[in-house]
Structure 1
Amino acid sequence: MPTQESGAKMNIKDNLPVSTDTTEGAAMSRIKFYRNEIAHNDSGTLTEKQFHQLWEEASQAITLLGGQHYMQRCSDLKVCSLDSHDREILIEIRNMRSENIPKGATVVHNSLLEEWSNFDEKVVQTRAIKRILERLEEEHVLTVIGPPGCGKSTAIHHAALQLRDQEDYVIVPVNFPGEIKQYYNPKCKQVFVYDDMCGKYAINLQMLDNWCTLSTAIQVILSRKNVKILSSCRNYIFKDRLFSKVKLLSEVYFDITSANNALSEKERSLIAEVYLSPKEVLALQKSNNFTKYDFFPLLCQLYSTKESSDVVVYFSDPIKAINVELESQMNETDQTTLATLFLFVIYNNCIDENVFNQRAEIRNILLNLSDHFLISSVLSINVVKLHLNKLINSFVKKCANAYSTIHDKIFDILVLFCGKMYFDLCLEVAHTDLIRDRFQLSSLHAKTSDGIVIVAVSKEDAYFDRISNDIRNGHIANVFTNSQMKYISYQQKIIAHLKKTEDLLKIVLSLSEKESSPLLTVANQGFNFLVHSLIDIGFTVNVRDQIGRSPLFLATDSNHTVTADLLLNKAANPDLCNNKQVSPFHMACLNENIEIVKLLVNSKCNIDIQNDYDQTPLFFASFVGQKEIVKFLLENKCDVNINSKHNNTPLHAACYFDNVEVVQLLLDFKCDPNISSVYNESPLFVACMKNSILSTELLLETGCNPNVCTQVEGKINPWFVFKNIYILINIIKKDKNHQKRAILLELANSYENVCAEHAIHSGMLCFFEFKGPLSKPDSAFNMTLLYIASINGFTDVVELLLNHNANPCLGTGFNETPIFSAAEKGRVEIVKLLLKFKADPNLFNKHNVCLLQRASLNGFSEVVYMLVIHGGNPNHYDGYTEPAVNLATRQSFYETVQILLQLNGDPNIPNFEGKTCLHIASENGDIEMVKILLENHADPNILDNDLISPLFVASKSVHVELFYNYLVRNAYLDDDLILYDDQLAPPKQCTAIVKLLLRYKADPFSVFESGFNCRYNIKIRS
């Protein structure tokens, strides 16, 4: 774009030029400024007002540079839709922000998102969807639950697309919890979307265990506030007792079919109108089937694909209608279509095109199908592909390179149909996951749910032959996580089958000492018969999984007391720890299971065993406040004074959650209350920091020193410790039991560095940028109990400490005393208490800032009043930080300014620039503040270091001839006569301030003496 300044060096600046500057350099500067504003916008959004202002100014700059023909182009672009090229650019930008995601996965994700976007055009925004979006404004994790086909996935996909389009989130469709860690990108906002969390038909135990293991690590990611997890879950999976173990997913949920959220008749009509003709909608509304099914949206979608059908008949029994359609395919002379659909049973509803490249395997499968279905021609790969593509939009959909049924509900019906009509074939070739989740022996006489394929007694031998094949094919985990394992009779049948088949027993026993040992799985589920049987046939009882958990550890963690007893009787090692040296004994104490604790002690376990951070089971029990377990351990001679890695004792742990009965027990058994951590933190300090009032009082009564000060100088607090402490404080507050578990098992290092929490609460970390390891803290981080209690507003603790001779004049390494922190935070009652106990109101910190300056800056007028009447100096000024009156004036705290002025505050003390309160108030255009100052003897004729008066500041936009008229004629300045420069004029109150200053004898010549014309480049109108 050629410009007039092309031949010369263009002056492009980083800041926004004044609007009167119409040079090309200024135009380029504006474009650069607004580009940076958008690029560095943390929220990723603009208000409508901001957008219009930005667009207007950027358009003017572009028009100035390129000519008038760009004006219309900018106007058109403001309201146009993205064309295909623009959309490709947008996708490319989003892909650039997905740098942590492999290219192959990005291709799949983009294909999924395209499918979601296309379907989203038909989505009706129901009240449920609106409420989900509202919940997401506050929540970072939301699980949407409901039965199949009710619109769960549609709702979360729509919500994710809204987050992308309106708040600039990157959508990451995922299947496993580990993908959050793998794909997390701290440089952008992300929403991870999970469909059918933890299983579709039965709960996926391995997936559930992975979520439990990774929950705290995921909490670390969520603490960044730029990540959301949005998932759907079938309601019967969500209600499974095991699902509640994953607090991260189960605490915040949205039931899409509850009475308050279910589709209204109006919403059903709107959905029906998207897919059906007006005549069909009317017929359906008149029938009794309009509100009959939760999966109404799916029915409308499916019905719209039928060439001819009676809408009322179809909706009266849709499952029957789909079965009738499948039966019609079965009754055809050519069953190629049904044979093709059967492939979904073999591949568990996901036929990846890559399977067609494995020609030997797929040909054997197709040959087998040809023997069971009437096929008019050879069932070849090409024929299958042709039929799959023909079935798209009726039974099948294709995303990226994979085919699946159009909805999981259709797959459920298909599996049940094939299991009934082609049982033998289904049992022989169905996917191993279907055998695990969807088959049930009739001989169990157990309750069955919808979608279960019943195995008749006459077919049990064939069923166990299939189980044998799964074992031989390496699907042993599926065999031992079978949904029928909860029935003892099924467990007995499995063991009997293994014992009579030597090669199977050998295969299973080969896993005896491996991380995938079935003994680990059954112990975790508390299947006692299987535990006993597997050990008896030769399984190693002390095997450990990939993170070091033994069968005893898993049984203890899941509170299976009988299983734990059984394992101990089978020689399980009670001291076998996981990879973090956490033992079953630790877990029993953490879970507050006194019965397992007694079993472990009776088995001669190491009662003082220590984990990686040297914490004992007593430490764990004290932390969770389990009085009965603590008493039992103490009576069994555990060492009460074993210190953790950073010298914390069980007494420190008990004080953390104010477990006062445990504190008393520990003191009774001679736990030393004067042992301090490596940071010189006593148990009393922890009690004060956590506002543990009862524990604080008890420790003070035992004679603990209330004036102990932390010592952090020379101690290293790495950055990740501070990061995890932040999570510990802010993220896992909702469930205290979950918080305790997370602290002890995942954030132990954070707990051991509790002093970091003090610094965070004290606001001291503003001196650091969290970009790498912190240097060694200096003595500035040292602080007293009274300081911590004061800054956090723990009034009762402050009073307890003062009544036990805590010194209110001891400060931090910054020379900030307890009253300093209380005044800064506006803790009125605490300030009163500290002043009552002779706290000095005139102390100032290391930077020479006093209490009154901090309180005034924050507008705490009541605190300011108390400090001044107790002798605080309102005029303290060190030549750098402004006096209290100036600070309050700058913030427009009228009440604070009035209090200071009434109590001998001087409004005429200049700051380091020579500016008084009047200069500041005039700059702000604050007429009310100017009036208060003038009424309290502020001098309007004091000049600052640049010889500028308050009158000059207030009148910088007023034309000079008006002052000339005032001087010559002594004229009255009428509002209508005041003329302002178009660009520089402040709001109307400028006029009132000028008049007010003149009324209080401001010198009008100061305007000229200050170089009015020269400084502001304002022309005198002739």
Structure 2
Amino acid sequence: MASLSEEEENYVRMSLLLTGISPRAVRTCFDNEFAPTNLDASLKKEYNKLFDLKKEGIINQSQWSLLFPILPDVPDSKTFDVTLMTTLLYNLTPMTPPLCGFDRLPTAMETTQASDLARIKYYRNNLAHLDDGKIDINFFNMAWDDVTSAIVRLGGQLMKQECDHMKTKQLDQTNQEIMMDIKHSNNEIQELKESLESLKQSHTEMIKSHELLQENHAVVTKEIEEIKISQNDTVPWNIRARIKDTLKSWKDNDDKMFINTTAARYILKSIQENSCVTITASSGVGKTYTFRHTALQLAEEEYDVLLVTKPSDVLRFNNPNKKTLFVIDDLCGNFSVDQSDIKSWEPVMEDIKQILDKKQTKILAACRLQVYQDEKFDSLSVFKSCVCNMLSDNICLSKTEKHSIAKLYLKSKASEIGDYYDLYDCFPLLCKLYHDNPELTVSDFFQNPFSVYEAEIDKLLKKGYHTKYCALALCVMFNNMLNEEILTGEVNEVTKATIENTCESCQLDRGTSRLVLQNELNSLTHTFIKKEQNVYKIIHDKIFDFLAYYF
């Protein structure tokens, strides 16, 4: 058999020192801390702490079986390896860790039990990672002295002689055969390591692939669910998408510009307790904002909020298996009762009552006060069942609420209008209009807002802005519903004559381009004009009322 080199002998001697002698030194230290006769009781006393170490993976199942063997067996430190004994000493005794912790080589100045245990652990780990089975003489001498000193301090002076003998004794054939086995195993170990790395990489790729499949499965499952919902949805997808966009717009505005009032809380409570609620008020009181806020609150209560304009939509979109809130703004007309609207609702009143009786469906409607008070409206009994008049004494805006609205819209200028809160019912509207037109004189505007608008329109005419003046007049002529197609597409003779006559009345040429008029309408947006779904309208019904009177 080939002889071992000096470096290979160093490796064998260090291995025998660390695996043969040092465990007995650690066990001596361990038995001094945990008397063998009381070991069972000591471990049971620390059961909870040991169980936590097991949960954290610091103690494995094999070690756990040694700590708590099946009766009648009892734990015995002779069955514990260095790792287990060190773990128990670290965690169950009041040891002060070395300066750099238990996982680093302590300095030569550190000679406590904790430092010596860390020292032996460090060199054992170092030995385990020497793939070539060789230790050079310089490292060997330094490490041998360091480990021997630790063994003596832990196991007693008698172990010094054993360590010294191990350093110089003649290695027998068994020791040499062990070394040769180690040498022959190195290549196999390296191959195993490479194979393990390959397996790890394959495992990682498999995990990534599995995660990707899970993600794709989740996406497909979601799409299938959406398709199923769509197939069972009573609302066509295009209308559903439009409603979703509208509700998002409402939500964005509600989050920024809504003040919760007594009226809002009262109306919310009413719709929670009743199947149908009608909100009434004159223009500009905050009816629309409160109406939208209430609908959004019901959406948070998992109601399917659907915006409808025709009674047939309620029957067509109703889903008896889903909580639904139908919302209807400007019920039966803006400025006066629309007789055709009344006639379209009357035939379906009984059907709607039956739907509401099932308690899954609710209706929230907003209606101008003059429309609601018209005797023709009396035939729509459903909308008379629960009425919230925002001008009534019990829910009308308080001075505190008006002040909060003024602060939200006017900021620092709110203090300038304290005396004008009660001049007009449409105080919320005035706050919004001033917020959108801050160049106006705040005190003049709140004292007499319509004279301010009258002066603004007169100024258009006097300064020769006849096209802007005509654009406003056209909105009145088309009853606040000036469709964009009227300005860009083919029109009938009646419509053409209306536009030409209005242009002439506003001191414009009868042949003025409709596209020029459209440009002027666009320039007036956010001041006098708003555009909704390709329809030009005056920015608020109250302003339209004034313009209708003006023109």
TM-score (norm 1): 0.30
- Residue in structure 1 matched with residue 86 of structure 2 by the alignment: none
Conserved in 2, the CA contact under 8 Å of 1:145 and 1:235?
yes
- Residue in structure 2 matched with residue 205 of structure 1 by the alignment: 339
Conserved in 1, the CA contact under 8 Å of 2:476 and 2:548?
yes
> Which residue identity is paired with 2:271?
L
In structure 1, distance between residues paired with 2:280 and 2:469: 32
State the shift of 1:333 in Å: 1.1
- Residue in structure 1 matched with residue 175 of structure 2 by the alignment: none
In structure 2, distance between residues paired with 1:330 and 1:111: 38
In structure 2, distance between residues paired with 1:260 and 1:350: 35
Which segments of 5 or more consecutive residues in structure 2 lack a partner in the other structure? 1-54, 56-206, 212-222
- Residue in structure 1 matched with residue 272 of structure 2 by the alignment: 137
> Which residue identity is paired with 2:351?
A
Mark the CA change 1:340 to 1:102 in structure 2 (over 3 Å): closer, same or farther. farther
State the shift of 1:145 in Å: 1.0
Conserved in 1, the CA contact under 8 Å of 2:470 and 2:506?
yes
Conserved in 2, the CA contact under 8 Å of 1:197 and 1:231?
yes
State the shift of 1:182 in Å: 2.1
> Which residue identity is paired with 2:297?
Q
> Which residue identity is paired with 1:243?
F
> Which residue identity is paired with 1:162?
Q
1:229 paired to 2:363: yes
- Residue in structure 1 matched with residue 260 of structure 2 by the alignment: 125
State the shift of 1:95 in Å: 9.2
State the shift of 1:417 in Å: 1.0
Mark the CA change 1:357 to 1:211 in structure 2 (over 3 Å): closer, same or farther. same
> Which residue identity is paired with 2:507?
L
1:413 paired to 2:543: no
> Which residue identity is paired with 1:343?
L
> Which residue identity is paired with 1:359?
E
Instruction: Find the residue that maps to 2:305 and give its secondary structure.
Output: strand
State the shift of 1:300 in Å: 0.6
- Residue in structure 2 matched with residue 327 of structure 1 by the alignment: 458
Instruction: Find the residue that maps to 2:436 and give its secondary structure.
Output: coil
- Residue in structure 2 matched with residue 337 of structure 1 by the alignment: 468
> Which residue identity is paired with 1:348?
N
State the shift of 1:394 in Å: 1.0
Give me the CA root mean square deviation: 3.0
In structure 1, distance between residues paired with 2:228 and 2:408: 31
In structure 2, distance between residues paired with 1:146 and 1:94: 42
Q: 1:300 aligns with which of 431, 450, 453?
A: 431
Conserved in 1, the CA contact under 8 Å of 2:332 and 2:342?
yes
State the shift of 1:352 in Å: 2.5
State the shift of 1:207 in Å: 2.2
Mark the CA change 1:365 to 1:377 in structure 2 (over 3 Å): closer, same or farther. closer
> Which residue identity is paired with 1:161?
L
In structure 1, distance between residues paired with 2:415 and 2:344: 49
Q: 2:532 aligns with which of 375, 386, 399?
A: 399
State the shift of 1:321 in Å: 2.0
In structure 1, distance between residues paired with 2:228 and 2:518: 33
The one-character-per-residue Cα deviations of 1:960-1009 (angstroms, maximum 9, x if unpaired) are xxxxxxxxxxxxxxxxxxxxxxxxxxxxxxxxxxxxxxxxxxxxxxxxxx
Mark the CA change 1:332 to 1:374 in structure 2 (over 3 Å): closer, same or farther. farther
State the shift of 1:262 in Å: 0.9
State the shift of 1:123 in Å: 0.9
Over the matched positions of the two proteins, sequence identity in percent amounts to: 28
The one-character-per-residue Cα deviations of 1:66-85 (angstroms, maximum 9, x if unpaired) are 99xx9xxxxxxxxxxxxxxx
- Residue in structure 2 matched with residue 282 of structure 1 by the alignment: 415
- Residue in structure 2 matched with residue 265 of structure 1 by the alignment: 399
Instruction: Find the residue that maps to 2:333 and give its secondary structure.
Output: coil
In structure 1, distance between residues paired with 2:499 and 2:482: 14
State the shift of 1:314 in Å: 0.7
Conserved in 1, the CA contact under 8 Å of 2:283 and 2:368?
yes
1:379 paired to 2:512: yes
The one-character-per-residue Cα deviations of 1:302-336 (angstroms, maximum 9, x if unpaired) are 11222422211111112222222222223231211
- Residue in structure 2 matched with residue 163 of structure 1 by the alignment: 298
- Residue in structure 2 matched with residue 458 of structure 1 by the alignment: none
1:311 paired to 2:442: yes
- Residue in structure 1 matched with residue 378 of structure 2 by the alignment: 244
- Residue in structure 2 matched with residue 352 of structure 1 by the alignment: 483
The one-character-per-residue Cα deviations of 1:863-922 (angstroms, maximum 9, x if unpaired) are xxxxxxxxxxxxxxxxxxxxxxxxxxxxxxxxxxxxxxxxxxxxxxxxxxxxxxxxxxxx
Mark the CA change 1:201 to 1:384 in structure 2 (over 3 Å): closer, same or farther. same
The one-character-per-residue Cα deviations of 1:248-286 (angstroms, maximum 9, x if unpaired) are 1112111111111111111111111222131x200111x
Instruction: Find the residue that maps to 2:334 and give its secondary structure.
Output: coil
> Which residue identity is paired with 2:347?
T
In structure 2, distance between residues paired with 1:162 and 1:97: 27
1:256 paired to 2:390: yes
Conserved in 2, the CA contact under 8 Å of 1:208 and 1:243?
yes
Mark the CA change 1:112 to 1:400 in structure 2 (over 3 Å): closer, same or farther. farther
Q: How does 1:623-642 map to 2 (within 5 A)?
A: none
- Residue in structure 2 matched with residue 112 of structure 1 by the alignment: 246
The one-character-per-residue Cα deviations of 1:412-450 (angstroms, maximum 9, x if unpaired) are 1111111xxxxxxxxxxxxxxxxxxxxxxxxxxxxxxxx
> Which residue identity is paired with 1:341?
L
Which protein shows a greater Rg? 2
- Residue in structure 2 matched with residue 828 of structure 1 by the alignment: none
In structure 2, distance between residues paired with 1:170 and 1:383: 42
State the shift of 1:344 in Å: 1.4
- Residue in structure 2 matched with residue 149 of structure 1 by the alignment: 284
- Residue in structure 2 matched with residue 388 of structure 1 by the alignment: 521
Q: How does 1:861-940 map to 2 (within 5 A)?
A: none
Instruction: Find the residue that maps to 1:356 and give its secondary structure.
Output: helix
Conserved in 2, the CA contact under 8 Å of 1:305 and 1:394?
yes
State the shift of 1:233 in Å: 1.4
Conserved in 2, the CA contact under 8 Å of 1:396 and 1:406?
yes
> Which residue identity is paired with 1:163?
L
Conserved in 2, the CA contact under 8 Å of 1:181 and 1:218?
yes
Mark the CA change 1:343 to 1:113 in structure 2 (over 3 Å): closer, same or farther. farther
1:216 paired to 2:350: yes
TM-score (norm 2): 0.55
The one-character-per-residue Cα deviations of 1:817-856 (angstroms, maximum 9, x if unpaired) are xxxxxxxxxxxxxxxxxxxxxxxxxxxxxxxxxxxxxxxx
1 or 2 for the larger relative contact order (CA 8 Å, sep ≥6)? 2
In structure 1, distance between residues paired with 2:229 and 2:440: 44
State the shift of 1:200 in Å: 2.3
State the shift of 1:113 in Å: 2.8
Conserved in 2, the CA contact under 8 Å of 1:334 and 1:374?
no
Conserved in 2, the CA contact under 8 Å of 1:98 and 1:185?
no
Conserved in 2, the CA contact under 8 Å of 1:356 and 1:381?
yes
Conserved in 1, the CA contact under 8 Å of 2:500 and 2:510?
no
> Which residue identity is paired with 1:353?
E
- Residue in structure 1 matched with residue 307 of structure 2 by the alignment: 173
Conserved in 2, the CA contact under 8 Å of 1:340 and 1:387?
yes
Conserved in 2, the CA contact under 8 Å of 1:111 and 1:399?
no
In structure 2, distance between residues paired with 1:132 and 1:339: 41
Instruction: Find the residue that maps to 1:133 and give its secondary structure.
Output: helix
Conserved in 1, the CA contact under 8 Å of 2:503 and 2:509?
no
In structure 2, distance between residues paired with 1:393 and 1:98: 40
In structure 1, distance between residues paired with 2:451 and 2:334: 22
In structure 1, distance between residues paired with 2:448 and 2:243: 36
> Which residue identity is paired with 1:253?
V
Q: How does 1:355-754 map to 2 (within 5 A)?
A: 355-361=486-492, 364-375=497-508, 379-418=512-551
Which segments of 5 or more consecutive residues in structure 1 lack a partner in the other structure? 1-21, 23-65, 71-88, 419-1022
Aligned residues between the structures: 329
State the shift of 1:155 in Å: 0.9
In structure 2, distance between residues paired with 1:133 and 1:117: 16
Instruction: Find the residue that maps to 1:143 and give its secondary structure.
Output: strand
Q: How does 1:936-947 map to 2 (within 5 A)?
A: none
In structure 2, distance between residues paired with 1:312 and 1:170: 44
Mark the CA change 1:118 to 1:266 in structure 2 (over 3 Å): closer, same or farther. same
Conserved in 1, the CA contact under 8 Å of 2:501 and 2:510?
no
Instruction: Find the residue that maps to 2:382 and give its secondary structure.
Output: helix
In structure 2, distance between residues paired with 1:239 and 1:360: 37
In structure 1, distance between residues paired with 2:409 and 2:231: 36
